[in-house]
Structure 1
Amino acid sequence: MVLQSTKPLILLSALFASFWGSAYAAIGAPSCVTFQSANGTFPIVSQKRASPVFISPDDWPGVQRAAGDFVADVERVTGIRPTLTNLTLSSNSSSIPKNSLPVFVGTLGKSALIDSIVNSTGLDVSGVRGQWEAFVSKEVQNPVPGVDRGYVIVGADKRGTIYALYEHSEQFGVSPWYWWADVPTTKHAELFVTSDGCAHGTPTVKYRGIFLNDEQPALQNWAMVKFTNGTGSPQLNSPFNHNFYTSLFELLLRMRANYLWPAMWGSAFGVDDPLNQFFADRYGIVMGTSHQEPMMRSTPNEFSLFGKGAWDYVNNKDNIYNFWLDGARRAQPFESVFTLGMRGFGDLPLSETTDISLLESVIDDQTAILNTAYGSSAKAEEIPQIWTLYQEVEGYYDDGMRVPDYVTLLWADDLLGNVRRYPVISERNRTGGAGVYYHLDLVGSARSFKWITTSQIEKIYEQMSLAVDRVATRLWILNVGDLKPYERETEFFLTLGWDASRWNPDNLDTFVSGWAQREFDLKPQQANLVVDIVGNLTRFNARRKPELWNSTVYSLINYREAERWLQEWDTLEKASTSIYSILPASTQPAFFQLVHHPVSASANLARLLVTVGRNNLRSSQAFLSTNDLADQAEELFEHDWDFENQYHTMLDGNMMDQTHVGYYYWQQPMTNSMSAINRVQKRKQALAGFMRISLEGTQGAWPGDNPFQCALGYNCPPPTLTLDSFSVFPNRFIDVGAGGPAAFTFTVSSNASWLQISPASGSISPDNAEQRVFFNVKDWSALNGGMNIAQITFTGTSKGQPAMSVSVFFDAAKMTPAADFHGFIEGDGVVSIEAAHATRNSTANGIAWTNLPRYGKTLSGVTPWPRTDEAFQVGAGPTLEYDFYNFHSIGESGNITVTTLLTPSNNANGADRPLTIAIGLDSQNPVVQQPMPDAAPGKQAAAWDGVDGFAHTAIIPLATNFSGVSPGKHTLKIMMTEPAVVVQKIVIDLGGLRTSYLGPPESLHV
């Protein structure tokens, strides 16, 4: 069977004439809202009259505040604001208008009003009572005396009620990003809920939150404008005051988050504004501090301000102990999760000589601090605590360090979205459970990435659904840097943590389509186009972070890779523009910042870097077009600023001032700087004459000398173009260009009638300095089997100069497979196969290789599913088979190399179970491979590291050699041995593989 594939690019024809749709239900949730009256509905607003909303005065302040948002949201949708009134049992129903249909909101066990209604109506709340953050809503009869019908919104606890209110608001059509991303609300005159209402049980993940890390320059500059008068906090000049944070708290609650690590590099949450912690608790946000900030203190800033001595627990224990004790006492009145342990000052590792016993004593002292700070109100084991196994700290764990069972083990990714470790079976029964610290943004080695969205929802799902499978669900924290521009991916991460059961590999597209309908009021057809736009935007940027792009990452000469890359961006930008241009003016700002800016700005950067690369190449080839490319590069470089400026002037903010062009080392550049471009003297003729030609597939240029023409670099023979009958590209090209200021005409002729030339002549001048000529075989059936050779002659004529002539050989290889063969065919000396396109897919113990649409660098990824802990002996597990046909081997030796391109997954099943996979060919013994090499505790393998390591290239190229391979039909086998391996592509080198970033395009299939 062939695994389901995905569309690699969008089609503009997907835009339909009928454009506007209605508001969309909460993403991934059953609908309980409608905009038309029908049987089984309850009015919120009908006939210009709003149902009054009642809440008990004894309910949580955060619930009362959220109820205010609820009535404001109703007004955003309908233009009519319901009344919001405190209703006590003593006041009975006298304050309820006669003949009204009221809405009652409250928390079980906290709201006397709700408890009374539940008791009097017999409303079944057994499914939510005592549950964490659960809720139910429903129409009830005779809720209070004198009222025939009412709609009741009931939370099991404070946040349960808050989430219930925001669930309704989102289904009304109010985006969580209505303020943060300027998303307009679709208007409706009528607004109803279904009588059965909405309900949700305990979330998948208990604590779900974000980390505002790496918040300079964008977020800090923007917040300084929005939330201060230009002056920040007295101690640190931080703009992150309670006005900023309460806006953020509301956003988090609307996305069903409940947890926050605050901004910390230039800030201190508990010091910058004394109201910050108070309002977090009041809103219902659980506060924590990052992996390197113990005991609710912002380190290093708070220690620099208030600490004494050095950050050295051996020689300065008492002062650090008291510093932590003050932090615990400050946080004690509020809902918090305490970070334990100790790292070096400023998110650095402690000394390599650090003794584990010292770190264990730190944990012991921190436990004592909690007991002191909380006294009789709570025991240490009752206070939520985490120990983050980040980088070298994971090494401490691997070396035997342990913390109390009630402490949550927070596993981390490798900073680029690949989780380093999940709990193994023996670790899944800890009372403190486990969680994951994940990154969308990074300041750190080998290269910071902060500018634009680069994370695939499909990748986030694959990694975090493994966390669900491995019971790492106590706490999830997402590093979002400046928060924007990661809005969509942040919401998906939190949505998955809210209810992972709703999502599977086949319905991830519905998250983006639902998001597009909610944010931009699109109909499903247009929302599906946005799915393609977003899917390809994140795919292109996840292949390699834009901060790591350069002028030669995508090959300028092989497989037309750089050209195809730019064509992909062109198609993507046209699709985005097609929607942006027809949106109402009120919706365009939201679409611009959430979709169109990242598409257009990324596309422009791609064009800039490829243009610089071509400029450098043409300079080495003595083409006059070098100067045109230099001009284009400078224009594209300045255009980068235009996108940033448009964002700021459209949205009145500074959220896009992150530098991103011209990295010199891991840290952000201080300004954007363009890569070096070259120029040639426009009035000087090249030494070899006025005409230059360059063949596809080489950096060489003729006539004259060039190191890429032959080994000597001079006195080289005429060049040769090759094409075979199963080449992915059906033609080859040669570029003709000016070698100086002289204009000339040229003709192209051949001694073979079977060779088609287009165009066969042309004119070159300083204003038209370069032209491409294509060559293809008119009719392969007319050629003899094997090699057919033609000679091509370029003749150039320029006024006042001797004519020039350059010869090129063209080799056309006609190859014929067996008549009954079906599968992939060798072309250009390789067979390239997308992993999803298996000939056969076998199942073992209910596990089969399953396609993850859109995942990875080219098309998709395949992985064994469901992901259990089961492993298989070689050949006993699920197997993918790929039939292919070869005509050659490397050097005709019978040797071939199979490179399996895998996602850079870590050995996350534990040290004794590294990820492995078996590669087999025909009846030869399969070869078991371990894609990610072993590493020292807390370290990564050398192959993972660096700007060209596995993580930053987003792939592990796993090479397997086979010998004794004769021409003909063969079957390649990919065999599961361990779970969680993801295969993206297979490339079989038969002697013709060329260097490229993505590998050859997929081979022809017959």
Structure 2
Amino acid sequence: MLGLQAIVAVAAFFVGGAEAIGQATCVSFQSTSSSFSIVSNGKAAPIYVSPDEWPGVQLAAATFAEDIERVTNILPVVSNVTSSGVQSGSIPIIVGTLGQSSLIAQVINQTNLDVSSIDGQWEAFMTKVVSNPLPGVDSAYVVIGADRRGTIYALYDHSEQFGVSPWYWWADVPTKQNSDIFVSAAGCAHGSPTVKYRGIFFNDEQPALQNWAMEKFSNGTGAYYTGSPFNHMFYNKVFELILRFKGNYLWPAMWSSAFAVDDPTNQYYANMYGVVMGTSHEEPMMRSTPVEWDIFGVGAWDYATNKQNIYDFWMAGAERGKPFENVYTVGMRGLGDLPMTSPSVGDDITLLEQVISDQRQILTDVFNGTNVTTIPQMWCLYKEVLGYYEQGMTVPEDVTLLWTDDNYGNIERLPIASERNRSGGAGVYYHYDYVGDPMDYKWITSSQIAKTYEQMSLAVDREAVRIWILNVGDLKPYEMQTEFFINYGWDASIWTPDNLNTFVSAWAQREFALSTEDTETITQIIANVSMYNSRRKPEMLNGTTYSLANYREAEYMLRDWEIVRNASTAIYDKLPSAMQAAFFELVQHPVEASYTINTMWIYAGLNNLHASQARLSANDYAEKVKELFQQDWDLEVEYHTILDGKWDHMMDQTHIMYYYWQQPMQDTMPYVTYVQPRKQSLTGVMRIVPEQSLGAWPGDNMNDCAQGYSCPNPTMTLDPYVPFQNRYVDVGSGGPVPFTFTVTSNASWLDLSPSSGSISPENPEQRVYISVNDWSQVTGAETAMINFNASAYTEYEIVEDTELLNVPITFIANHTVPPSNFSGFVEGDGVISIEAAHTASNASVAGINWIELPGYGRTLSGITPWPRMGDNGTNFTAGTGPSVAHENRTYDFYNFNTIGQAGNVTITTFVGPSLNANGADRPIAFAIQVDDESPLTEYFIPDSTPGTLPAAWDGMDGFAATNVVPVMTNFTAPPGAHTLKIWMVEPAVVVEKIVIDTGGLMPSYLGPPESMIV
């Protein structure tokens, strides 16, 4: 995990208060000899736009002027003028689009301005100071877009640098105030984006987004046909946001909604703003399915039996969408996000090929004989549709193939070399929100920027850059992650594994104007929250997700969440009140909500465990669960009441106690139980629970031994290389009787802390730590006896069995020592655990190296071969490719034991759950080697039927739920020093952690903490 004190390197062009994230700045707040004044001395430069300019540009110019007023309290005059209407002597801002604006055309003709860098480029822009641009005008700041969105992006890019966040409305980020604004004479520029269509998809929008919109944008009943609240007033807010963070594409809300029917002006406004519309993977030809079909369709949704009615339905959708800029979804799925129901896959393929042929004929007819290959079309290879493609279904090459992830952020397939020359190109449909198996997740942030980057960088390298669409659910609270996805698609060349943190730090600085120290802290808070939540989606948690007994896993999770919460709260508390609402929405609420639910579940687990151990402290944990359950609701209420209820309902999503994949109909508190506090345990006053045990002494417990009764007293072990350097024993209360206890040992080399204490119903627990104070006094394995003795208070007239007042523990200290000349990881507790990034060796082959992906995965980071395409996408046989291996001390390990002392160890390599995105004949793989044994190649994603995911992907212990694939390999490794190597076989594998079991590995969710190094 990432430490809150880590230093974050911020790229130079992000520093300061005038930045668009990922865009070099041209804005300042102090004049220089060459700068142009946007606002100075209380006067704003006028803004001129040609009357023949695109409506969306005119609208953006007006909003741009409002942004200037937000910053300076001075509103520029915006005028629609021809050159003859330009005020002589003015020093204006001239805004326009190549090929559309007559005003810009005259500037170019008069000055011979070189616009070749953007001419003909998709969404490119340039700005600069131009002398004598028009008659009577000595100088102007000219803002030129290659097309309408290029011009709009140029304006909003400047707004962002002025101090207006794209999220000023959607997350209530206050505008940074400055009295003066200047721009450099050279201005700002940007070429065509990496990805042509960059968009978001509102999905699973009931209950939160829909309930909120119903209250804020509707009369309470919604649209006539559908009851949907998503009218143009809602979408106009969305369109502006999309353009401000440099997106251009939208799949509209679809649950009980139909974009063109909910409000007949929705399509008009989308086109006016300049946003390209599409529809989801199951909604062909710009028609909502199943909503519109249920209202207007005739007969069954079955093209084999009801072709004409469905054809006419699609024809109407194409005609309705004709005046506007759209990407048409082609193909067909069953109603309600289901497969079609033909007798066989072959029948489905034949039928679907006919469907697409007919849909293209519709487009040809509707667009008056226009060459259909020029009309943007997309076929989404989602779920079973991918199977059709893999089994031979073809579509015309001008149709964009939209590949998809597994709904959990792992792209199933990307274009292979033979598919990269399609004129329609390829794209990716990606999820930050999902409804379905193995379980919904749609409540809180749980996607990592590092993972998004890792997967989408593959899409860039494999040329899937025509369309990127992100399922954002309700949009909130995924604001920052959504912006990163779109920003990366805007310009992928900016971001590398080494500077991903600068996106977050720049975002935090832009939104909150924090100090450098606090910006760094926020960067780590966000990284940790997304890492902790991605380990297991909050909806999937239960009381035993994290081990309650082994490796102190649950208590370390409690500690880590507490650290994150305290760090966030410290910043929140010192922010100006005007900034707190934004910080609450974007940082504090996700932190508090995640802390609350994670802590609640762990406490629920501890409650049940302590009750099974007859510990009175179970009741305290039950009360804590109840408090946290109510705290979860309090946080929801707080979210809904900030800013006079602006975001009422936005956190309506249920998220506690899922019973199956679908959302629960009500949040339900985890099950807790109570120990009778007025009745003494049959086992006496004292409960003794050693570390690594689920049982308790004295008395009977199924976890004390296999028999479950008449069990021997506990035994504990410790060696010098246990990462914690000690053991603990919990002393607890078994009922209402207070008692004191003492802890004694017959070994001088043991420290017991504390050695005595008092237990009562008010203080029902005390932890005693046991450590070796001087390992030089221990030779080999030495045994000591530790006695826990209780003295019950005499005023309680309870007859005590002497045996119940004393619990002896056998303590074995095993002084294992590697040779003095060994450097590397050393076995402790019968295991060796290594974070994959902790290697100093990087053997390059064909220009490919293993690099670290900071913040990726579940514990620290990942390592992956880089560049992703390496030597033209080549792969290697085991032992010939790039390796991470032995140098200095890393990936060297020393073991004292083997499994069953038979000379063997089991190595579990934890890898990211990347799928076989490089095609069926190139399944993802790596090779692992110990010493001079032959490297073993691991193809770790099981085969599956095309269009389906492997069985191991599903379920609560599957790859999706656990967000990792454990790959187990057996090796011979007798006690001694060894070298481990990981070899590249296929690109795109990400290795997170390596665990070597020498016979002592215990169950846990994240695996043992990293071993000690000598």
1:988 aligns with 2:988: no
Q: Which residue of 1 aligns with 2:753?
A: 758
Match of 1:574 among 566, 570, 574: 566
Q: Which amino acid aligns with 2:137?
A: V
Q: Which residue of 1 aligns with 2:578?
A: 586
Higher relative contact order (CA 8 A, sep 6+): 1
Contact 1:11 1:575 in 2 (8 A): no
Instruction: Please give the alpha-carbon distance, in whole angstroms, between the structure 2 residues aligned to 1:685 and 1:637.
Output: 29
Superposed, which structure 2 residues align to 1:357-506 within 5 Å? 357-376=350-369, 378-506=370-498
TM-score of the aligned structures, taking structure 1 as reference length: 0.97
Instruction: Please give the alpha-carbon distance, in whole angstroms, between the structure 1 residues aligned to 2:379 and 2:501.
Output: 35
Contact 1:22 1:186 in 2 (8 A): no
1:891 alignment partner, SS class? helix
Contact 2:6 2:520 in 1 (8 A): no
Equivalent pairs counted in the alignment come to 989
Q: Which amino acid aligns with 1:873?
A: T
Match of 1:131 among 114, 118, 121: 121
1:791 aligns with 2:785: yes
Q: Which residue of 2 aligns with 1:17?
A: none
Superposed, which structure 2 residues align to 1:966-1005 within 5 Å? 966-1005=974-1013
Q: Which residue of 1 aligns with 2:740?
A: 745
Q: Deviations over 1:512-536 (max 9, x none)?
A: 1111111111233321211101000
2:664 alignment partner, SS class? coil
Q: CA deviation at 1:304?
A: 0.4
Q: CA deviation at 1:770?
A: 1.3
Q: Which amino acid aligns with 1:148?
A: D
Q: Deviations over 1:55-86 (max 9, x none)?
A: 10001011000000110000000110110011
Contact 1:9 1:572 in 2 (8 A): no
Superposed, which structure 2 residues align to 1:529-548 within 5 Å? 529-548=521-540
Instruction: Please give the alpha-carbon distance, in whole angstroms, between the structure 1 residues aligned to 2:736 and 2:340.
Output: 63
Ranges in structure 2 where 5+ consecutive residues have no aligned partner = 9-14, 886-890
1:148 alignment partner, SS class? strand
Contact 1:24 1:517 in 2 (8 A): no
Q: CA deviation at 1:944?
A: 1.0
Q: Which amino acid aligns with 1:8?
A: L
1:709 aligns with 2:701: no
Q: Deviations over 1:652-687 (max 9, x none)?
A: 122111110010011111111011111111111111
Q: Which residue of 1 aligns with 2:834?
A: 833
Instruction: Please give the alpha-carbon distance, in whole angstroms, between the structure 2 residues aligned to 1:688 and 1:526.
Output: 52
Q: Which amino acid aligns with 2:59?
A: R
Q: CA deviation at 1:22?
A: 5.4
Q: Which residue of 2 aligns with 1:692?
A: 687
Instruction: Please give the alpha-carbon distance, in whole angstroms, between the structure 2 residues aligned to 1:629 and 1:553.
Output: 17
1:551 aligns with 2:543: yes
Contact 1:835 1:861 in 2 (8 A): yes
Contact 1:408 1:433 in 2 (8 A): yes
Q: CA deviation at 1:231?
A: 2.2
1:125 alignment partner, SS class? coil
1:467 alignment partner, SS class? helix
Q: Which residue of 2 aligns with 1:876?
A: 880
Q: CA deviation at 1:841?
A: 1.5
Q: Which amino acid aligns with 1:565?
A: M
Q: Which amino acid aligns with 2:881?
A: G
Q: Which residue of 1 aligns with 2:965?
A: 956
Q: CA deviation at 1:483?
A: 0.7
Q: Which residue of 1 aligns with 2:239?
A: 249
Match of 1:272 among 250, 262, 270: 262
Q: CA deviation at 1:92?
A: 4.9
Contact 2:717 2:812 in 1 (8 A): yes
Q: Which residue of 1 aligns with 2:653?
A: 658
Q: Which residue of 2 aligns with 1:18?
A: none
Instruction: Please give the alpha-carbon distance, in whole angstroms, between the structure 2 residues aligned to 1:299 and 1:88.
Output: 46
Instruction: Please give the alpha-carbon distance, in whole angstroms, between the structure 2 residues aligned to 1:628 and 1:504.
Output: 48
Superposed, which structure 2 residues align to 1:175-254 within 5 Å? 175-254=165-244
Q: Deviations over 1:315-348 (max 9, x none)?
A: 1111011001000100011111000111011111
Q: Which amino acid aligns with 1:76?
A: R
Q: Which amino acid aligns with 1:586?
A: A
Instruction: Please give the alpha-carbon distance, in whole angstroms, between the structure 1 residues aligned to 2:840 and 2:323.
Output: 62
Instruction: Please give the alpha-carbon distance, in whole angstroms, between the structure 1 residues aligned to 2:208 and 2:433.
Output: 13
Q: Which residue of 1 aligns with 2:21?
A: 27
Q: Which residue of 1 aligns with 2:11?
A: none
Q: Deviations over 1:14-61 (max 9, x none)?
A: 9xxxxxx95240001111000000122110001111011101000101
Q: Deviations over 1:425-467 (max 9, x none)?
A: 0000000000000000001111000000000001000000110
Q: Which residue of 1 aligns with 2:63?
A: 69
1:587 alignment partner, SS class? helix
Match of 2:716 among 721, 725, 728: 721
1:672 aligns with 2:671: no
Q: CA deviation at 1:225?
A: 1.3
Instruction: Please give the alpha-carbon distance, in whole angstroms, between the structure 1 residues aligned to 2:929 and 2:246.
Output: 47
Q: Which amino acid aligns with 1:847?
A: I
Contact 2:613 2:696 in 1 (8 A): yes
Q: CA deviation at 1:737?
A: 1.0
Instruction: Please give the alpha-carbon distance, in whole angstroms, between the structure 1 residues aligned to 2:192 and 2:774.
Output: 66
Match of 2:922 among 910, 913, 916: 913
Q: CA deviation at 1:11?
A: 3.4
2:978 alignment partner, SS class? strand
Instruction: Please give the alpha-carbon distance, in whole angstroms, between the structure 1 residues aligned to 2:595 and 2:517.
Output: 24
Contact 2:531 2:858 in 1 (8 A): yes
Contact 1:135 1:201 in 2 (8 A): yes
Q: Which amino acid aligns with 1:319?
A: N
Instruction: Please give the alpha-carbon distance, in whole angstroms, between the structure 2 residues aligned to 1:359 and 1:228.
Output: 39
Q: Which residue of 1 aligns with 2:499?
A: 507
Indicate the RMSD between aligned Cα atoms, in angstroms: 1.4
Q: CA deviation at 1:797?
A: 1.1
Q: Which amino acid aligns with 1:791?
A: M
Q: Deviations over 1:477-536 (max 9, x none)?
A: 000010111100100000000010111100111111111111111233321211101000
Contact 1:22 1:522 in 2 (8 A): no
Instruction: Please give the alpha-carbon distance, in whole angstroms, between the structure 2 residues aligned to 1:53 and 1:962.
Output: 72
Contact 1:453 1:598 in 2 (8 A): yes
Instruction: Please give the alpha-carbon distance, in whole angstroms, between the structure 2 residues aligned to 1:947 and 1:400.
Output: 33
2:20 alignment partner, SS class? coil
In 2 relative to 1, CA 12–467 (structure 1 residues): closer, same or farther, beyond 3 Å? closer
TM-score of the aligned structures, taking structure 2 as reference length: 0.96
Match of 2:777 among 776, 782, 805: 782
Identity of aligned residues (%): 59
1:774 alignment partner, SS class? strand
Instruction: Please give the alpha-carbon distance, in whole angstroms, between the structure 2 residues aligned to 1:805 and 1:278.
Output: 81
Contact 2:39 2:72 in 1 (8 A): yes
Q: CA deviation at 1:947?
A: 2.1
Instruction: Please give the alpha-carbon distance, in whole angstroms, between the structure 2 residues aligned to 1:199 and 1:13.
Output: 31
1:942 aligns with 2:942: no
2:183 alignment partner, SS class? strand
Instruction: Please give the alpha-carbon distance, in whole angstroms, between the structure 2 residues aligned to 1:570 and 1:903.
Output: 27
